[in-house]
Structure 1
Amino acid sequence: MQIYLIVPPNTDKATHETSLELVQSGLVAAMLIQRGTLADDEYRKWAESLIAPAQQHGVAALLDNMPEAVQSLKADGAHLTQGAKETGAWSKKLKPDAIVGAGEIFSRHDAMTNGEQNVDYIFFGHLDPSKNIDDEETAEMANWWAETFEVPTVGFVTSLELLSKQVEFCAVREQVYEADNPLAALKQIHNSVNSK
């Protein structure tokens, strides 16, 4: 299982330094630069400061719902949550040169509808911490998708042990950024999810 790192939308020095340390570890496959409530210009500047360092270490850098900036910022792709129709339109514009992922998936119907849009992954879980409240339901859907369909799965749950070994990517954020030693926490997670 590969690590999908979510960088929290905090444009502070500590978050920046931690993010660079994590992408340099060799343990991260992809990095979503979460936008949160950042304004367009602020988000572009923040993303730009992280994209090249991540790519230098083989980490795919993804923009959060800003597909129109993928080419100008030289990002690897975009994570989209606008719905299947919009995701499908961007998939046609950006692929095969860029990665297109679909999020905000909270039902099997949404998963299948988005999965038909030629996306590179289906993301289960909510980026808003206040809404990520049902780990078991999220993990159940991620496991179902991973065991049934070929489009890769990203599972974002607090309890990573709930994810089956068929899930291709586990998303992490608080587990590393709120740890006393983020790099050690990342290594422990990587070893844990790959010892199943």
Structure 2
Amino acid sequence: MTSPEDRCRLVLIVPQGGDADEQAKILGDALKGGDVASVILPQYDLDDVAFQKLAAALVPVAQAAGAAALVAGDSRVAGRVKADGLHVTGNAEALAEAVEKFAPKLIVGGGNATERHTALEMGDASPDYLFFGKLDGDIKPEPHPKNLALGEWWSEMVAIPCIVMGGSDLGSALAVAETGAEFVALSKAVFSHPAGAAAAVAEINAVLDEKAPRFEA
């Protein structure tokens, strides 16, 4: 069996809802299913106090499983809970500022690149990764075609890794892997899976092990 490092790996986006303890249990269950590169924690509609409480509960769970814990949007919360990284939700300027301020102490990446020009502007900041799609963009079973196209173009052109948002179906992970993207982000496909999140993570890893294209060393 090959190492996950030489093919597309899974990134989990924590879903909305539930209290901190419940969310920590759900995430912990998912991470028992197999390889997860990182976990992104969006703020959604939580106020700053509730978000910090949630992050404080979830970050250690992700880290204990060997996944990088990335807090979306709030650098202060990321620092207070000792997260591994910051997912910037703003524009290219915001991403550049975050890279300058927090890298390399923190992993710093971002998204909001809906077309090539913006993606290249964001790439100029030398982030650790670029994210194609919206954190809550898994509204259909398959990934958005535009995100797949951007992921494929970026992977061929640029050395900075990219994460492409998948769909609400587990099969969308392979569609992303086939673009050459280093990472596929999933949320509903894992956390709403009928057999449970751990089974979903195990199934995704099995499919990626078997079918995902390999990166050249």
Q: Same fold (TM over 0.5)?
A: yes
Cα deviation for residue 14 of structure 1 reads 4.4
Structure ranking higher in strand proportion: 1
Asked whether the equivalents of residues 138 and 166 of structure 2 are also in contact (C-alpha less than 8 Å), the reply is no
Note closer, same or farther for the CA distance 1:110–1:8 as it changes in structure 2 (3 Å cut): same
Task: Find the partner of 1:4 among 8, 11, 27.
Answer: 11
1:121 touches 1:151 (CA, 8 Å); kept in 2? yes
1:30–1:61 CA contact under 8 A, matched in 2: yes
Residues 30, 192 of structure 1: alpha-carbon distance in 2 compared, 3 angstrom cutoff: same
Supply the AA of the counterpart residue of 2:78.
Answer: V
What's 1:137 paired with? Answer: 146
Q: CA, structure 1 residues 52+122, in 2 after alignment: closer, same or farther (shift >3 Å)? A: same
| Matched residue, 1:31 | 39
Pick the aligned partner of 1:160 from 170, 173, 177: 173
Counterpart of 2:157 in structure 1 is 148
Aligned to 1:98: 106
Compared CA separation, residues 21 and 134, structure 1 to 2 (3 A) = closer
Pick aligned residue for 2:189 from 162, 165, 175: 175
Q: How many residues align?
A: 196
Q: Is the 8 A contact 2:70 2:83 kept in 1?
A: yes
Correspondence for 1:18: 26
Unpaired runs of 5+ residues, structure 2, are 1-7, 213-217
Report the equivalent of 2:91. Answer: 83
| TM-score, L = length of structure 1 | 0.92
1:184 counterpart = 2:191: no
Q: What is the identity, as a one-letter code, of the residue corresponding to 1:154?
A: I
Query: 2: CA distance between counterparts of 1:139 and 1:162?
Result: 8
Cα displacement (A) at 1:11:
3.1
CA contact (8 A) 2:162 2:181 kept: yes
Cα offsets for 1:89-146 (capped at 9, x unmatched): 1111111110001111211111111111120000011123487796111111111111
Identity of aligned residues (%): 28
Alpha-carbon distance change, 134 to 53 in structure 1, aligned in 2, over 3 angstroms:
closer
Look up the SS of the partner of 2:109 in the other structure. Answer: strand
How big is the alpha-carbon RMSD for the aligned residues of Structure 1 and Structure 2?
A: 1.9
Q: 1:15 to 1:5 in 2, by over 3 A?
A: same
More deviation in 113-122 or 157-166? Answer: 157-166
CA distance in 2 between counterparts of 1:34 and 1:155 reads: 16
